[in-house]
Structure formats: structure tokens, C-alpha cells
Amino acid sequence: MRYLTVALTKGRLARQTLDLFERCGIDTAGAMDKDTRKLIFTNEELGLRFFLAKGPDVPTYVYYGAADIGIVGRDTIIEENKKLYEVLDLGFGRCRMCVCGPASAKKYLDSGEMIRVATKYPAITKDYFLNKKHQTVEIIKLNGSIELAPIVGLSEVIVDIVETGSTLKANGLEVLDEVIPLSARMVVNQVSMKMENERISEIITRLRNELQKQNA
Ligand code: PRP
């Protein structure tokens, strides 16, 4: 039997996903062990392999078929824009992509002025300002701690993920507009979906049933 390979987003998303698999009766072969430095975990009995990757790399592994299945945030799926099947909303990792800044920056959004926007998500930001707001902006790509940008004068606003809102609050910023709602999704390689349809569909069904049970 060929291994079915599942790429997980390192961190909290991976832990929640592995927990869901375990609740479905799918043994995740020690991938839950926090202290391990191993990157790949094999369940020989089911012919399943799990590995942990950085979020933006998950769609890449799945697109090239190095993983058949990926679990990743909707933000990353949209930003990476690879041809994949998105088959299931896992419901966790719920948050929002928002335009944020100091309250005083709201006027820049209403006026349609040329402003600078710092973000880890340039494609989503470009689509939002160009196609939805019809506002020309300069996008500055950062790799983290995006909230710093308007504080130190790098940009007027940011486009970033807001979950509890506590990072914004702690830095005197607020949500100025919502871009898209987000949560963890399951994606599948398009060839794998045809070649391994039965096994992949079985996994989707088991996960979906468990999620429905949990929400009932
Ligand atoms: C994310 C995001 C925000 C924060 C939002 O950052 O970029 O900074 O979490 O969460 P909150 O609304 O609950 O405060 P992350 O911790 O992933 O680190 P990063 O700044 O390096 O992207």
C-alpha cells in the first residue's frame, strides 16, 4: 500500500489537527510528542505519514504531490494561490484578516489616499485594496510583528491576522476593516484526489463526522 502523506502546519494548528485525527481513531504515530525533533511520523498499519512544515510551505508540498493532504490556514491557501482542492473547514484556528492601525488612520481608508500598508500577506492585501476598495497603496512585505509598522512610522496601516485582539490593544491599534474570515482547512492534491479517492474520502468522512458530533 502506498503511503498517504499529510502535511501539517507546525504549532497550534498541528496539535489541534492531530488531536482531531486521534479522536477519529486514527493513530498519529507519536507526532503529538512535544519534545521530539523528528519531522515525520509513520502509521504503518494505515499506511499514513504525517509531517510538520511551516504554514506557507504546506500548499507547496501538496501542490507538488509530496503530500497528498495538507492542513493549513485559509489565509495561507489564498496567499499561496496554488491549484489544490479545498475539501473541509476544520472549524478551529478561527480568526480574521483585518486592516488595522491607530484610530487616526481610518481617514486614509475613507479618503482613498495613497498610503503604505505593511503585511505578511501581500497578495491578499493587493487584492483587497485594488479590487475591493479601488485604492492604490504601497505594500511593504514584513515577516512578523507587523503591529510595529504603524507605531514606528513604516506604514499608515497593516493587514494582519486578528484572533483575540489583544496584540492590537496592547499596542494602541484597532481593527479598521475586516478583509476575510479565516479558519483551518484541509486541502488535497488534485491527482491524489483521483488516484487515492477512496482512502482520502474515508478520512474526510471520518473527520467531518467527528466535527459534526462535536458541534451537535
Ligand atoms: C499573529 C498575528 C498577530 C497576532 C494576533 O502573530 O500576526 O500579531 O497573532 O493575535 P491576537 O489577536 O490574539 O493578539 P503571531 O503570534 O503568529 O506572530 P508574528 O507576529 O510573528 O506573525
**In a mutational test of the pocket of ligand 1, which residue from 160, 169, 173 has the highest number of ligand atoms less than 8 Å from its CB?**
160
CATH of domain 4-93+183-215: 3.40.190.10
User: Residue 33: its pLDDT value, please?
Assistant: 80
On the question of a common fold for 4-93+183-215 and 95-181, the answer reads yes
In the prediction, which pLDDT does 31 show? 81
Superfamily of domain 95-181: Periplasmic binding protein-like II (3.40.190.10)
Q: What's the 162 CA to ligand 1 centre distance in angstroms?
A: 7
Query: What rounded mean pLDDT belongs to the chain?
Result: 95
Ligand 1 atom closest to the CA of 145, numbered from 1: 20
Q: What is the pLDDT of residues 122-171, one digit of tens each?
A: 999 999 999 999 999 999 999 999 999 999 999 999 999 999 999 999 99
Residue 167: CB within 6 Å of ligand 1? yes
| Sequence spans of domains, the chain | 4-93+183-215, 95-181
pTM of the model: 0.93
Q: Which one, of 131, 137, 63, lies nearest residue 101 by Cα?
A: 137
